[in-house]
Amino acid sequence: NSEDLETGTGPSKNWIYQFWREVHIWDHDAVQLFRRWPLIPTKSGELANCGNARFVLYICSAAISSTLRSSLINHFTELQSAHEKEERCDLLSLATERRLRNNSISAPNSDDDDEFWNMGKNLVDKVLAEDENQEHIPSEGITNEIASVGEASGDEVQDASPHITDTSDVPNIVSESIDDQPNMPLYDHDTASFHLLYRILMSINCPLLEASFFTDEDINKTLPTDRLGMSRAVMCTLNQCINYWSSNIASSESRLHWSELNSHDFDDLLTFLSSHQGTRLSLMVSDLNMIKNLPIFETFSKTFISIADRDQNFTLDNTVDIASIGSYLPLSLQRKLLMDKPQFKELYEDLSIRILDEANVLEKFVLKEFQSMPLTQKEAVVKNILEKWSDLKNSNSLIDILKNTAFVKRKENMGNGEIVFVKPSQLFDPRIDILNVIIDKDRSCFPAEEFATEESLNMLKIVGLQTSVDKDTFLKCAWIVEGEQSVPKALKLFEYFSEHFEDFYDNNRGDFIRNLAEVSCVPAAQGQSIGLYRFRDAAAPKDKHLVFKVMPVIHHDAVPPQVMFSSLGIVSPPPISTVLRQLRTLTQSQSTVDHWSYKHGTVEAVFAEIFAFLQDNYAELSPRVQEGLQLKPIVPVGTTLVRPNRLFFRLSKDLAPFFYEVPRAFGAYDVLLRNLGVRESPKSGDYALSLTELNREIGTARLNANELKSVVEVVHLVASNDDTTAQDAVFAPDLRGKLVNINLLLQNDRPWLVNSRRLDMNRIHLAHPKLSKEICDRLHIRALSHQVQEVLDKAMEVKEIIHHRESLARVGHTLHSDNFISIFLGLVPKYFNHSNLKEVIKKFTLVKVESIHTRFILSQNNLNSAIDVTNQANSAASLCFIEKELIIISSLPLGVSNELALATGLCDYFSVSRQHVAGIAALLSSHTIDDITAVKERMGLYEDGTNDELTRGDPGRPLVPTDAEAAILKPLKSFTKGEIVGVRESSDSNQLIYGVVTECEESSSSLSRLRISIGNGTEKSFLTSEVYSLGRSTSEDDSTSHPLPADQFDISAYEGSLLQPIGGNNNDLEAALAPSTDNSKKTPISRKDILTAVQDLLQSADLSLNHDAKNMLDSNLALQEALSEKKKQLNDREKNTQEMAKIAMSGTDAFLCPITRETMEDPVICCDGHTYERHAIEMWLSNNSRSPKTNQPLASTEVVPNHALRSSIEAISQLRESIKRMAPDTNWEE
């Protein structure tokens, strides 16, 4: 044992290590020679007898201790080195002795003696020489020399070196051949499953080999050759420990510590023993017996037992709940039942373990003893059967036993209502309505307590509960229901009728159906009440949305199968007249939709079904009815009923209460809705008409908030539509919320004037603030500043105040200064002509008067008149008024300076925003240029480029430096409408100004003519060779050169490309740069224009075309123009041919058969008036008696050939083939 190894009373670890290097653990015969010797080291520290070697297992590499193996190898190496030194010393002694003997012995007498006495001389001499020449000889060299001498010198040297030093370097020499050695295993023993097995066996103290004492080759040979052999080895060892090594000799404790394992460990061990990689091992009977002997089988009591000594073994499948059966299953039986392990199902079968489900448990152990059980156990059994019936019902044998077992509770009707157990066949199903009616006073014939539930009754029905009722009994029940007028009983009656329809259906051959149709026993709802009616007087539930207001609807539990509708007198679908009465009732009052009380469907669901019915039967409606439907509000949108002509399939915005979009729920009935007047989307005229109708409706009343919101939306839509022809009929809200014709509305762009109360607002209609400036502009609503002019009152007498001339002169001096004018012009809007403003301002003369009397005149363009809109109640005078070259300033109130009044007048006169009044007044108050500079900086009026950015891109404005640097001529560029470009301000100027392309008159050549807006409403025509494209500016550290200014444009950068064709095609001078365009809209550019453009470009670089080059270019351009004209003619001809082809293709839907949707070859006319393909309609009529087109009954199945249509089809087909040959590229599938 381990103590012997440490104390020295037994063999040491190093001795055992050397022993197993000589004796191979896998050599059974050699090991058995030492069978009584405890020389096999185990992981527990014990030494096992060599006779039990096959019961000591090696599982995987985890059994090898790298530390222990390294220690053993190091110690063995030290012993080997010491042994080599000892051999060397012996050899040196032998050499010394021979040298002395040679000196003392005389020469030999014969050759044989010389050979004897000189034996080994060469070896000794060599050793002596090495000894003399070397101070130290490595042991490895000596060992090698000895090995070599041993082969030639015989026993003498062999005795000196009797052992091989290191079996790791020198192969082991064994007596048996290679074929006699064990085979290597055919599986990987170092996988995760083997490591798991190793851990489990270590936990239970199973004898495991301490593999550190052996070489890898030896321990691998101890492994069985196949996986089944490994399982058998483990089973043999465990059984050996159980049967013969039941206790540990050293400690007298149990050999195997099974309690160290948990449930998962037991499962993993059993899995390893019985399968490999998911595949069952081929276990023999002996193997199964060994497995049975192992205490590794888990019971329902959570213990682990061996099953070797039991006659029968059972387990329960995973559907059985041990907690539920524990209340009636004895604990002794629970200990005998093994826990169900699905992964061991096949193994359990091999081990003769029978798997029981709950039905087997009831059959085998419980129901046989049910009558003798105590009441509590009976209750537990009944509860378990009811709860688990969904699984138990699959056992036919259990059902047979239950049919003959008295396990159903019944309450005695007499006495104290005692509960007794009876067989199912002795009771009736209480869900049979007829029995409830007949024997409602005696409940003893029905199951009691928990057996009275729906689930329990379903179960009892399977095991024998009586459920049958014949036709006569059912009719008696119906008559009783009619006499009592009991709706609940009627509902139960017909529930049973529906469930057992096959028992009552007699295919109209008997009297049962006819008699039932005459009984008023059918529960039907009309409104909020339910009554009893005959079948013929009620409607089917599937038609309830069509009739619920005008006809009772059969309760869904009482509806018979549809196959019996005609026999019972039910009409489905209902007549059109009934549906129209339903629609009229629903739509005659708005409150019906507002207070919807119908609980079986929403408003949308009900009307959707009505619309579906009307769409299918619209052709049967009379013209008068159709016209009436178009005029009445019959379409619900939310809680509002809307007329069809106010509905549209698509609205961009919510325009209620003017227009409504068709609800999505009604989208499938577009055919009906279009017939009733619903359109795709409203037009501008519709919007305007709605505003006119609203104006007519409300008159001068003000709009409420919701109406105002909707009106604004409608006005926006009118404005967004390009069609403004109906502008005179457009109304929009004014500032007070009244609808006013837009010709009378004005935009409030002078709020300070309005707020000054100097205008008579009763005579002016300002647009409502919710109408944006953009909308007002689109509706051509004029601005207040454009329509209302302030003029001097003719009765005003100008009285100048002389003593103010000096102060006004100082202000005038500042006004006329260049610094002020420069700053002020930067604030003037772009639509003023800035070139003349400077002279205008310099001509102004300032005059101070006592007062200024003005009037406000409103111009009415449409009426060619003007009215005075001055507020007579407000006598306030203007502070400043500009009349031509005269600026008049009135006497000012305290706090208002001349400069402030002048600044106000300038802003109003030049349409400068009043936000700059304070800054301009401060400028006018400045005395020097330095003061003006300081004021403009502090008041934010100085120009820092921001103003340039605001006007950047405006036509007529000079190019900002960023764009001027990036401007470059691209004569061959294709410009787009609206693109901002640069052009010269004049032909003799180098100044570039912004322009906006308004029209692209492209030509077939590379050059094009453009119409460009250059400001002030002016447009000019330019060739693309005169237009500068605005490219992307470069970064400051970019080393590339900037584009040259217009006066220094270097055309040599084109490297002659204007004079040489690019690629193999001469049709385009710059095909790589000019994108393809639509030639159908190009206006030809004359050759003269092209030559002029080339000359202009060359002249900008001080170059020109010589005469020959000019003639060649002119000739080339002429050829291109001729070729383009021919191509255009060919394209026009091909386009006309394709148009003819498509016209010929249209209108052929009449040639398609309504059944096959293919062109008819043999058209025939049916009695419904429609034409079909002969073979298709004949096949249809063989199985149907209704029209495939209208679904109406056909009076006859005869068909007549339609010769006229057939001739038309053949003629059109020939025409199409001819056109196809003329236009082969046309897509005929479209």
pLDDT of 855 higher than 80: yes
Query: From CA 994, how far away is CA 996, in angstroms rounded?
Result: 7
| pLDDT band of 1046, cuts 50, 70, 90 | very low
Mean pLDDT of 45-58: 88
Residue-wise pLDDT for 714-765, tens only, equals 888 888 776 544 455 788 998 888 889 888 899 888 888 888 888 888 888 9
- Measured CA to CA, the distance from residue 675 to residue 16 in angstroms comes to 109
Residue 515 CA from chain centroid, whole number: 60
Cα pseudo-dihedral 828, 832, 838, 840, rounded to 10: -110
Percent of the chain with pLDDT over 90: 11
Instruction: Name the residue with tokens 């197993």.
Output: 20
Tens digit of pLDDT for each residue in 1066-1100? 333 333 333 333 443 444 556 566 666 666 666 55
Name residues whose C-beta falls within 8 Å of residue 79's C-beta, 6 or more positions apart in sequence.
14, 18
303 vs 128: CA distance, rounded Å: 79
Strands 865-868 and 854-860: antiparallel
pLDDT at 132 over 80: no
In order, the DSSP letters of 13-35 are: HHHHHHHHHHS-TT-HHHHHTTT
Two structure tokens written together for 427: 């009771």
* pLDDT greater than 60 at residue 1042: no
Length of the chain: 1230
Q: What is the pLDDT of residues 488-546, one digit of tens each?
A: 888 888 888 888 877 887 665 668 888 888 899 899 998 778 899 998 899 998 999 99
Please report the pLDDT score of residue 336 as a whole number.
72
Report the DSSP beta bridge partners of residue 640: 637
Cα separation, 1029 vs 762, in Å, equals 54
Across the chain, mean pLDDT equals: 77
Long-range contacts of 241-249 (CB under 8 A, 24+ apart): 241/206, 241/207, 242/293, 242/294, 243/293, 245/207, 248/205
Q: Nearest Cα to 512, choosing from 523, 526, 500? A: 500
Q: How far apart are CA 329 and CA 377, in angstroms?
A: 9
CA distances from 964 to 983, 991, 1034, 1046 (A): 11, 10, 12, 10
Nearest to 765 by CA among 791, 728, 729, 738: 738
Which residue bears the tokens 């619209």? 618
pLDDT digits (tens, 9 = 90+) for 694-707: 888 788 888 877 77
407 vs 370: CA distance, rounded Å = 8
For 244, list phi and psi in degrees, rounded to 5.
-120, -30
Is the distance from CB of 879 to CB of 894 less than 8 angstroms? no
In angstroms, rounded to a whole number, what is the distance separating the alpha carbons of residues 171 and 162?
Answer: 16
Residue 296 in this model has a pLDDT that exceeds 70: yes
Structural contact between residues 1172 and 1206, judged by C-beta atoms closer than 8 angstroms: no
Give me the sheet containing 854-860, strands edge to edge: 788-792, 854-860, 865-868
Q: 647-648 and 660-661 as β-strands: parallel, antiparallel, unpaired?
A: parallel
pLDDT at 1207: 86
Query: At 714, which helix (H) or strand (E)?
Result: helix 705-720
Q: Match 């809680």 to its residue by tokens.
A: 639
pLDDT of residue 929: 61
The pLDDT of residue 234 is above 50: yes
Residues 680-697: pLDDT tens digits?
888 777 788 888 878 887
Q: Distance between CA 41 and CA 745 in Å, rounded?
A: 113
Closest CA to 811 of 880, 895, 910, 877: 880
Nearest Cα neighbor of 692 from 737, 645, 735, 742 is 742
| pLDDT for res 1111 | 72
What type of residue is 311? D
Q: What is the mean pLDDT of residues 1224-1228?
A: 55
Query: What per-residue confidence (pLDDT) applies to 1032?
Result: 59
Tokens of 341: 């392990």
Cβ-count burial 1101-1115 (b if 16+ within 10 Å, e if not):
eeeebeeeeeeebee
Q: How many C-beta atoms lie closer than 10 Å to residue 690's C-beta?
A: 22
**Helical residues (DSSP H) of 982-1106, grouped into ranges:** 1087-1099
The DSSP call for residue 256 is S
State the DSSP code for 60. Answer: S
Given a cut of 80, whether residue 219 has pLDDT beyond it is yes
| Residues 767 and 747 sit within 8 Å (Cβ to Cβ) | yes
Which tens digit of pLDDT belongs to each residue from 1188-1199? 888 888 888 889
Amino acid, res. 959: L
Cα separation, 510 vs 504, whole angstroms: 10
Of 400, 402, 442, 438, residue with least CA distance to 422: 402
Residue 950: pLDDT band (50, 70, 90) is: low
**Cα angle 264-270-275, degrees, rounded to a multiple of 5:** 120
pLDDT tens digit sequence for 273-287: 998 888 888 889 898
pLDDT on residue 1230? 44
1159 contacts: CB under 8 Å, gap ≥ 6: 1148, 1151, 1152, 1153, 1209, 1213
pLDDT band of residue 1146 (cuts 50, 70, 90) is: low
For residues 873 and 206, the model is more confident at 206
- pLDDT at res. 349: 83
19: left (phi over 0), alpha (psi -120 to 50) or beta: alpha
Alpha-carbon radius of gyration of the chain:
58
In contact, 1164 and 1205? CB cutoff 8 Å:
no
How far is the C-alpha of 712 from the C-alpha of 732, rounded, in Å? 7
**What is the rounded distance in angstroms from the CA atom of residue 972 to the CA atom of residue 1062?**
13
For every residue of 971-1001, DSSP letters joined together read TT----TT-EEEEESSTT---EEEEEEEEEE
The C-alpha atoms of residue 374 and residue 372 are separated, in whole angstroms, by: 7
**What is the per-residue pLDDT for 129?**
53
Residue 1207 phi, psi (nearest 5) = -65, -40
Separation CA 218–CA 207 (nearest Å): 18
C-alpha to C-alpha distance for 687 and 693, rounded to whole angstroms? 10
Residues 6 or more apart whose CB falls under 8 angstroms from that of 804 comprise: 848, 898
| Three-state SS at 889 | strand
**Mean pLDDT lowest among 200-204, 549-553, 861-865, 869-873:** 861-865
State how far the Cα of 448 lies from the Cα of 419, in Å rounded to an integer.
8
Please report, as a single letter, which amino acid is at residue 1048: Q
Contact status, residue 690 vs residue 714, Cβ threshold 8 Å: yes
Classify the C-alpha dihedral 673-674-675-677 as positive or negative. Answer: positive
- Is a pLDDT exceeding 90 seen at residue 580? yes
For 1077: left if phi > 0, alpha if psi spans -120 to 50, otherwise beta; the answer is beta
Closest CA to 962 of 1013, 914, 1033, 908: 1033
pLDDT in tens, 438-475: 667 667 778 988 898 888 998 999 998 988 787 877 88
User: Under a CB-based contact definition with an 8 Å cutoff, are residues 539 and 554 in contact?
Assistant: yes
Q: Tell me: pLDDT of 120 over 60.
A: no
Q: 893: part of which helix (H) or strand (E)?
A: none
Torsions phi, psi of 180, nearest 5?
Answer: -80, -10
pLDDT of residue 625: 92
